[in-house]
Structure 1
Amino acid sequence: MIRAVKPEDAEQLSQIYDAYQSQSGGGWERDPLEPDRMAEHIAAWTPRLPWLVYCELDKPLGYACAMPWREQPAFRYTVETCVYLDASVRGQNLGSQLYRALIGQLREQQFHQALAAIPLPNAASIRLHEKLGFRKVAHFNEVGCQAERWINLGYWQLLLARFAPQAAP
């Protein structure tokens, strides 16, 4: 079942993120992402941006979310997106299902562009994003440092909707 995130999901989502980060080196946090900090992210971003969770028996086993790409008003129609799955459900097409639902909501909310920052190498994430229509637009060498090694970062971009922008309120 895919549903909107709830505040009480923060603990499980932080565990999913931390496990992903420790197993793949794909996260950007230096220390574990504490549930309180995850709850702060949820509270700050979900009034405007969708966060979706995949649950079995109401236990979150994965999530896809949108975050502001930049805080300046000029970037209000562009979001950064990501998806994280518990190791027990990877390879079951759930990442695609979550991401499609997220992209659908972003289109309904009239966002223009979605960006995904992918630590490289990461064949599975690249495959997922490109399957959903994202295209690589940037490659940065050695911009992150995790586990005492330099990490390259690629950006993938997806056009969500074409529309004439409105003046900022």
Structure 2
Amino acid sequence: MNASDEAPIRGGFEIVAEGPWAGWWKWSGKDPFEDGTGPFFVKRDERGIVTGFRPETKNLNGHGIVHGGSLMTFADFSLFMVAASGGEEVSGVTVTMNCEFVSGAQAGDLLTARGECVRAGGSLVFARGTILRVGADGTEEAVLSFSGTIKRAKRTSH
């Protein structure tokens, strides 16, 4: 993927040109909580939408593993990206979010998430996915499974 490629989903995304996330996209909107927890990234590959996150020390709990709240914030970001995987931007709020913690993660681990849009109705969108820890050898291990419902924002005319 290069800078001339389209964003993986519609909306205000900027391509990352340098560093370990080069070729991924980052949302350019303002979300102070998400920005403080992440950064989170997204791209489209041969398997579809994939999101990415590399937790830092700031994301750890008192036991030295990635805090569940950090994982859930990444899952919420991923929920919206997966929900928009058909190419239609999904703007709204999370109504429900279910998470099952499968295993822990450490600072520095590469975490990715993949999933599917189960149903996109007129006012509600249902999606689910899994956060995976990606090993240096490319193996994937489930860290958290999630599902949720998004209530679409009402469109207003100006």
TM-score range, shorter chain: 0.3 to 0.5
TM-score, normalised to structure 1, is: 0.34
State the TM-score, normalizing by the size of structure 2: 0.36
Identify the structure with the greater strand proportion: 2
